[in-house]
Chain A
């Protein structure tokens, strides 16, 4: 088995996450699907790091995790704020910027 199989798995996980972002209406579930996509990319980075024989890919995955943590904090705060004003966590209800 070649390590490239990890890349196939990660591609599948990324696609599933993307489908979830498109399919779900609950903002929190959409957010979880975004996390799934980020994690799929992290698996790719770790696998590439191993195939290349350097640790730079792992460093990059580490920074992706840091940015994801910051993004989760801000994103969930936005969801809580929207829920407070509109009493709904659905992405369809936040439509004030709709053209």
Chain B
């Protein structure tokens, strides 16, 4: 504990920032894991990414903080939410345990792993002296990073460009869908939706037929009073046939 207090090379302001944001980051991370809805998990992940960006900023890494916000909290999270909307947000996780005792084992493993990491860190680096980045950041953080990036790490940097191109091409190939049948027209889509033997209409769609003399339906399923066809509702009680109104 003495070595803990001796190694006070972090300023007061940074200490305050750490103790305010670290619990927020931890709670947000827990919420990512525990949130039932995937959209909520994504939003909590954004909170976590912002906390980490602040940690980068106070640790003399302003360039990485900016990249974290633009690339991670901006681009990557937008991509996540976009795919979530594409896949359907109402598909919540099933809570059925497919392997018996998997949850307990996973939590125990995670706790054990955290314990191992924690003891390892406290053994190895807790009383290590921190040099600080004042010398390395003398010109400016961006200049220092650029100097390293375009000298020592220039080959890695070039390989990264190949990686990005391959990833973009791979995503295009994977997400591309080959059309095997004829292009669906508005008429064929409408017939598939309302025709005989079609699946029940999706959420947010109240109509089950497109016949002109069927009344408009309220969300409760009752015919609307001011619907133009409500007078015919008794006569046209049967559901319309496929594509009747088209």
B18 touching A1, Cβ below 8 Å: yes
The reply to whether A79 and B87 form a contact with Cβ atoms under 8 Å apart is yes
A13 and B48 in contact (CB under 8 A), knowing A3-B9, A4-B121, A59-B145? yes
Q: Does B224 contact A (CB under 8 A)?
A: no
What is the chain A residue whose CB lies nearest that of B15? A1
Interface pair A59/B38, CB less than 8 Å apart = no
Complex-state Cα separation, A13 to B144, whole angstroms:
29
Once the chains bind, are B110 and A18 in contact (CB under 8 Å)?
A: yes
Residues of B within 8 A of A77 (CB): 170-171, 174-175
* Structural contact, A46 and B59, CB atoms closer than 8 A: yes
Establish whether residues B10 and A1, one from each chain, have CB atoms under 8 Å apart when the complex forms. Answer: yes
Q: A74-B170, A74-B171 are in contact. Are A62 and B29 (CB under 8 A)?
A: no
Chain A: residues with Cβ within 8 Å of the partner, total of 71
Q: A19: which B residues are within 8 A, CB to CB?
A: 33, 106-107, 109-110
> Chain B binding site: helix, strand, loop or mixed by DSSP?
helix
Bound together, the chains give a CA A69 to CA B67 distance in angstroms of: 11
In the complex, what residues of B have CB within 8 A of residue A4's CB? 7, 121-122, 125-126, 128
Among A5, A67, A68, A90, residue most surrounded by chain B Cβ atoms (within 10 Å): A5
Count of B interface residues, CB-CB < 8 Å: 91
Q: In the assembled complex, which residues on chain B have CB atoms less than 8 Å from the CB atom of A26?
A: 38, 91-93
Q: Which of B77-85, B201-209, B226-234 has 4 or more CB atoms under 8 Å from chain A?
A: B77-85
Across the interface, which residues of B come within 8 angstroms of A74, CB to CB? 167, 170-171, 174
Chain A contacts to B: CB under 8 angstroms: 1-9, 11-20, 22-26, 28-29, 31-33, 35-36, 39, 42-43, 46-47, 49-56, 58-59, 61-63, 65-74, 76-81, 83-84, 88-90, 92
